[in-house]
Chain A
Amino acid sequence: MQENQTEQQEETQQSAAPAAPVQETPRILVALDASRNSLTALKAAAELASLMHADLQAVFVEDVNLLRLAGLPFVHEIGLYSAIRRPFDGPTAEREFRMLANQMRRAVAQTAVSARVNWSFQIARGNVEQELLTASSAAELLTLGRVGRTPGKRFGSTAQRVIRQALCPVFLLGDEGLTYPLAVIHTGSPASERTLGLAAILMQGRDEAVRLFVMTDPDHNGEERVHRAQRLMQGLEKQNLQGKIILIDSREELPQILHATGHGTLVLPVELASLLDTVSCSAILVR
């Protein structure tokens, strides 16, 4: 019972005119943990919220594991830089959480105001993934950093777990943030179809082409491929997108081709999530 207990505090800020009830406005959720990537995620989330006319909802999860740990008498915190051993107890953990939360709240307020979006800031306490998944259930999109605060990693464990379970698209932010030209990957799956819609939102007000990488079925003959490409062109036109179609035969050569053509943020269906082990850039995974 106790494990599932969560405490929530929420603060909502209407920075524009009093809008319609919160439920009706789409929400962009951003997970914050004070890491560098999570701040990049905040910025990208604010941009997206502005493009999608959505509210920005920021969540900071106080990791319950750390609090539990603080209850153990023999646990010490080792300073990451100084390597000094300090006692780690309940009050210390609480104080650190408060400090980080304040820091995050200020960052959210500042970013949201300059992007002119409504924002809310929520502090949750519990298991990080669980809390994020719960919070994201009502969101249009979840944004978070590729790596968290534990050093020595290229693809954070929390991010990996969240993308496996999230119901909404997940935007994973690397250091570079949201960049263009967008590279959209199409496998033919239903999720792939939705990548185009998302790309269209991200391309609003931009007069440039997206790169559409199309995974072909090796069994298909030339005519079928052309047909598929034409169909995708129509799909692009329907979304008012200019696009450049690149046909790709095998999944293995995708990282190389991506590297060779150069690209900005990836928009890909969730089944290709493992691609992110080899390609380190910001990516939106669409379910």
Chain B
Amino acid sequence: MEPGKPLKSDELVHRCNPDQFSFDTTDDLPDLDGFIGQERAIEAIRFGVRIDRPGYNIFALGPTGAGKNTLVHRYARARATEEPPPDDWCYVNNFDQTSKPRALRLPAGKGKQFSQDMKRLVEELQTTLSSAFESEEYQARRQALEAEFQERQQESLKDIQEQAKERGLALLRTAGGLVFAPLKEDGSVLEPEEYEKLDEEKKKHLQSEVEVMQERLQKVLYQVPRWEREFRQRLRDLNREVASFVLKDLLNDIRTSYAKMPAVIEHLDHVQADVLDNLQFILGGSGGGQGGDEPNAVLQSVRAGAATRRYQVNLLVDSSAREGAPVIYASNPSYLNLIGRVEQMAQMGALITDFTLIKPGLLHEANGGYLILDAIKVLSSPYAWEGLKRALQFGEIRIESPYEMLSLTSTVSLEPEPIPLNVKIIMMGERRLYYLLAAYDPDFAELFKVAADFDDEFVWDEDSQQLYAQLISAIARREQLKPFERAAVARIIEQSARLVNDSERLTARIQNVVDLMEEADYLADEDDAQTVSIQHVQQAIDAQLYRNNRVSQRMQEEVLRETILIDTEGEQVGQINGLAVLQLGAYAFGKPSRITATVRMGKGEVVDIEREVDMSGPIHSKGVLILSSLLRARYAYDRPLSLSASLVFEQSYGGVDGDSASSTELYALLSAIAQVPIKQSLAVTGSVNQLGQIQAIGGVNEKIEGFFELCQARGLTGDQGVLIPAANVKHLMLRQDVVDAVEAGRFVIYPVATIEEGIELLTGMPAGERDEEGRYPEGSFNRRVEDKLTEMMEKRIALDRKSRGEDRDEDQNQNDDEGQAEDEKADVNE
């Protein structure tokens, strides 16, 4: 490359030569073992998963599609297989305080067994207890008790009835009680009239007889509730006696299997005590008899269900089928999904809950292993981030409902005993999120001490190219695509460089490559081809472009219809073609813009119209200030700059930013000053510094292609082309049609290192350098600029002098004028 000279077609794109590969299709290639690039991130993850210290959680930051997920999973899984499976965790009833279920830790696999053992226990408990209570021995003892109670009651009443009969009284029933009725000799009740006829003594006697009997009856009835209580107590004692015999036998079996787990043994002791206290509920109405009075069958069955639930085991974490430590990816890391929840169920119209309704969260599942999370999902889910931090900070999982925390609900809920947490969190997210968290959350740095920073791109060299081919092969196999031909692989690699706009780098956003491959595979399928060829890849690239280029096409149409004015032929003073890049989603395209400059006599200010109306960003304004100081330093360093200039991006209706047009603006300005026309067949990009050097800009490929498309639509003349900074040549990854046009001599791309080179290309005039006397040579462009500026300065001085003379005259007439001015003011006020 030689600055100022057209680039050759082979400099416009870095071709990946398929002949460098030894394979025919990707089927011949082994899978990629490891990753390309990302050494820094890999090292960080390797370190992060192995270090066993609090706070050493990992944040994998980088662009989407860079393979964070794959890499993180691979390293976490590799580490997890070396680690033992975590312990099992269960929640069991707390018989002392039902609202605070107890957490039990058991060795991996034991939890399931314990849960089954307890389930079997409850089943056996019911059948064994029922049969014990149905046994003849129990029934006989129970009936004896009942009969004793009944008889006691009946005997005492019968006794009363007989005593009453002896006294000539009968016991009658009223709505709420009993009364004694004096009888006549025929057995009917004595009537009040007849009573009145009796003599006083008889009346008294009768009265006292009734009185005595009433007292006796009262005594008997007073005793009935006490007898009943006594009966119940004796029945309960009998039940306990029978049940504890059965229970001891059942529990001893389980106790021996868990002898080494004191917490389980303690729980079993509690179970034993509780069963004896709640026999009537366990047996329902069937055996114990105490629940038999329950009028509501539904309520009774609910109670029986609840009674057996008490002894269940809620197996929260079951590691029985697990090999190694868990690696869990949280697809929906909401607060409840992370921390776990206490569910409720509707029972007879009310919401109820118990320890069996505690549901584990992802933290429970990943406890003792690795939990992989998407940062954006955690942060956008209410309270999830706070909950996660709290769990990590305190090293325990405490299930609390966020609704209660916010007082949104006041239903009775549970406070399960917290479970100790030992988990490695691997969070993935964009860089922006990482830096925001680091800046605004003081806990973040404490909790996520390992940052795994993923690169966007890596160097394109022989080795990486070979690995890339293997990667493509691996993707093809993983995604079950057709094998890719050698040339197709090469084309994909080229496109990968184009994606990062750099002929010496390849994209690390593998997802884009996967997408391209899938689309090419689809096209190959449409073609009934067995392998994916370079044509399919190219078609896929073109199709992607076509799907996205509606806006750029519309804009080009408007240029062709001359709604937007862009010349691609002829010469104009103070007018030049600039190039801008527009980004719409993932698609960027170049758009030519006309930049114009006008000059007039003034005091040396360069007006950036864009900035005046706040349509330019700070970098653009900076570029304009640089070029105006360059103008002063180069052409008017020893005298006042006596012009004012205005610069504008014509027909720009949105804002502009960036300094990539500063050299362009300078050319337009110089053309306007020197009144030398600029070739409209050329478009210019590049920023300029104060010394007149052209500096690199972004989006060079899109800019060139944008201008090329316009020229091509109007018909290529061979004169048309683009001036780019020489520093950008290494970024060129141009489209094939541009390369072909350059090769055919119908389009030109000039690398430019200095303003002078640009001037010569744009005007066809020599720029000229200062000689020993500090003068630009005659006939050079710079000389014309300098001459124009000198001319303006002289005119300005002459004008100043003249105006100073007029000022003096004016001073003399001032007194007259003032009176007149006051009159005018009065008029205005009216």
Contact = CB atoms under 8 A, between A and B. Distances in A.
A228 interface: no
A79 B174 CA distance: 9
B207 to A, nearest CB: 4
A269 to B, nearest CB: 29
B308 interface: no
A144 to B, nearest CB: 15
A71 B207 CA distance: 13
B405 interface: no
Contact of B189 (A65, A83, A152): A65
Interface string B162-195: 0000000001111111111110000011111001
B214 A85 contact: yes
B174 A152 contact: no
B158 to A, nearest CB: 7
B69 interface: no
A88 B189 CA distance: 15
B423 interface: no
Contacts of A150: 171-173, 178
B261 interface: no
A75 interface: yes
A24 interface: no
Given A68-B192, A72-B182, A80 B176 contact: yes
Contact of B176 (A72, A79, A148, A152): A79
Contacts, number: 93
A100 interface: yes
A151 B177 CA distance: 10
Given A69-B179, A72-B182, A72-B195, A78 B218 contact: yes
A80 B181 contact: no
Contacts of B218: 78, 83, 85
Contact of A93 (B154, B173, B174, B206): B174
B157 A77 contact: no
Interface residues of B, number: 33
B222 interface: yes
Given A3-B188, A85-B218, A77 B158 contact: no
B181 A69 contact: yes
B221 interface: yes
A148 B178 CA distance: 13
A179 B594 CA distance: 105
A244 interface: no
B50 to A, nearest CB: 76
B191 A68 contact: yes
B179 A76 contact: yes
A263 B181 CA distance: 40
Contact of A83 (B180, B181, B221): B221
A127 B172 CA distance: 13
B153 interface: yes
B188 A66 contact: no
A93 B294 CA distance: 32
B328 interface: no
Interface string B198-235: 00000000110011001001100110110000000000
B222 A83 contact: yes
Contacts of A86: 176-177
A74 B209 CA distance: 10
Given A3-B188, A69-B189, A78 B154 contact: no
B190 A68 contact: yes
Nearest to B210: A74
Nearest to B174: A77
A63 interface: yes
Contacts of B192: 68, 71-72
Contacts of B180: 75
A97 B214 CA distance: 22
Contacts of B225: 81
Nearest to B161: A152
Contacts of A208: none
A75 B211 CA distance: 8
Contacts of A65: 172, 181, 188-189
A113 interface: no
B175 A152 contact: no
Contacts of A83: 217-218, 221-222, 224
A96 B174 CA distance: 8
A247 to B, nearest CB: 33
B178 A77 contact: yes
A127 to B, nearest CB: 8
Given A68-B189, A74-B207, A85-B218, A80 B178 contact: yes
Nearest to B203: A74
Which of B154, B172, B190 has the most C-beta atoms of chain A within 10 angstroms of its own C-beta?
A: B172
Interface of A: 2-3, 34, 63, 65-66, 68-69, 71-72, 74-83, 85-86, 88, 93, 96-97, 99-100, 127, 148-152
The 4 A-B pairs of least Cβ separation, nearest first, read A71-B192, A83-B221, A96-B175, A65-B189
Given A68-B190, A69-B179, 20 more contacts: A3-B188, A65-B189, A69-B189, A71-B192, A71-B195, A72-B182, A75-B179, A75-B181, A77-B174, A77-B179, A78-B179, A79-B176, A81-B221, A86-B176, A86-B177, A96-B174, A97-B175, A150-B171, A150-B172, A150-B173
Interface of B: 153-154, 157-158, 171-182, 188-192, 195, 206-207, 210-211, 214, 217-218, 221-222, 224-225
9 contacts: A65-B172, A69-B181, A72-B192, A75-B210, A77-B178, A83-B221, A96-B175, A150-B173, A150-B178
